[in-house]
């Protein structure tokens, strides 16, 4: 039986690239996203290319009910979870003191609560197996505030904090926890940008780094990995 990887927001950008990289390595996948059509297309594409099983579930994990629904779906597969990637998130530019009401709450829900509640939903199963690797998709904004970053940076700082806490809590259960801090990556978040592709990282590069961090001996853990465009931050 193939090992199982769980990814939130697994149909586009970095999430899809991660799904494809681990499918190539022989993993079955459990994916969620809000758009059912995107899930069906991703399932079709990956199963056709790699002949792996892809289990999909439409869910908005930025709210507790959606995260619990996806976690329940995953546990119903009755498979050990080898890797969990908390990838769901979104970005709204603006200054924290000038943002519209509700932007902070939206950012915290998408970028922090999604990881928190999804992990809570499946981690007991991982603890019972005393194995697994959890990746939280943080950001350069987790360590560096920048103009127009606003509540996005606040939420990503919080996600890094959660990751640090989780790592300490999971050590007795042989579960590794890694914070991934990518810089500007060519995804739909940058749609409409006039900058050339050469100023962005490729989603496949981020996915490869994650796979490499997973692949080392379980006697070691990559606690945090920072990945930036070669020419620097945008």
**CATH number, domain containing residue 48:** 3.40.50.720
Answer yes or no: is 233 within a domain: no
Q: Write phi, then psi, for 74 (nearest 5 degrees).
A: -65, -45
pLDDT category, 198, cuts 50, 70, 90? confident
User: What is the spatial distance between Cα 234 and Cα 231, in angstroms, rounded to a whole number?
Assistant: 9
Q: What is the pLDDT of residues 5-52, one digit of tens each?
A: 999 999 999 999 999 999 999 999 999 999 999 999 999 999 999 999
How many domains does one find in the chain?
A: 1
Predicted TM-score (pTM) of the model is 0.96
Handedness of CA 128, 161, 104, 209 (dihedral sign): negative
Range of the domain at 200: 4-227
Spatial contact of 85 and 15, defined as CB atoms under 8 Å apart: yes
Q: Of 172, 219, 207, which Cα lies nearest the Cα of 85? A: 207
Look at residue 199 and tell me whether its pLDDT is greater than 90.
no
Answer yes or no: is 173 within a domain: yes
Q: What is the pLDDT of residues 121-166, one digit of tens each?
A: 999 999 999 999 999 999 999 999 989 899 999 999 999 999 999 9
């Amino acid at each position: 039986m193939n090992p199982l990887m769980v990814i939130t927001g697994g149909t586009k950008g970095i999430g899809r690239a991660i799904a494809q990289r681990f499918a190539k390595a022989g993993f079955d996948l459990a994916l969620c996203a809000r758009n059912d059509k995107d899930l069906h297309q991703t399932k079709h594409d990956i199963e056709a290319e790699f002949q792996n099983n892809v289990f999909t579930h439409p869910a908005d994990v930025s709210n507790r009910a959606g995260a619990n629904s996806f976690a329940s779906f995953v546990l119903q597969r009755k498979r050990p979870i080898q890797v969990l990637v908390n990838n769901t998130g979104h970005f709204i530019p603006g200054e924290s003191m000038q943002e519209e009401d509700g932007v902070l709450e939206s950012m915290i829900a998408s970028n922090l609560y999604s990881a928190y509640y999804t992990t809570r939903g499946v981690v007991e199963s991982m603890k019972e197996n005393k194995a697994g690797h959890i990746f939280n998709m943080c950001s350069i904004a987790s360590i560096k505030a920048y103009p127009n970053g606003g509540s996005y940076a606040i939420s990503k700082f919080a996600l890094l904090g959660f990751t640090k806490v989780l790592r300490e809590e999971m050590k007795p259960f042989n579960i590794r926890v890694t914070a991934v801090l990518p810089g500007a990556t060519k995804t739909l978040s940058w749609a409409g940008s006039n900058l050339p592709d050469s100023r962005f990282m490729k989603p496949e590069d981020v996915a490869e780094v994650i796979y490499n961090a997973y692949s080392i001996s379980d006697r070691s853990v990559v606690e945090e990995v920072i990945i930036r465009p070669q020419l620097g931050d945008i």
